[in-house]
């Protein structure tokens, strides 16, 4: 039987969340910021694109 010594313990999800709290909070605020920008855009649907018929198209 083999024995392995001095292995680092595997991090628990709670420890991972605690260690990366600043990253998680930053990502949440960044996503809210981007959602705010996306929701504040005033876009007119006029003139976005021109639809024309192609010869031979169904």
pTM: 0.52
Virtual CA dihedral for 21, 27, 29, 32, nearest 10 degrees? -140
Segment 17-55, tens digit of pLDDT: 899 999 999 999 999 999 998 888 776 666 666 667 776
Yes or no: say if 20 and 11 are a contact pair by the CB < 8 Å rule. Answer: no
Report the alpha-carbon distance of residue 48 to residue 50 in Å, rounded: 7
- Would you give the distance in Å from CA 56 to the centre of its chain? 42
């Amino acid at each position: 039987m083999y024995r392995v010594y001095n292995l680092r313990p595997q991090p628990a999800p709670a420890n991972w969340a605690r260690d990366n709290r600043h990253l998680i909070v930053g990502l949440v605020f960044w996503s809210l910021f981007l959602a705010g920008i996306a929701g504040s855009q005033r876009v007119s649907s006029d003139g976005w694109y021109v639809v024309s018929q192609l010869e031979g198209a169904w």
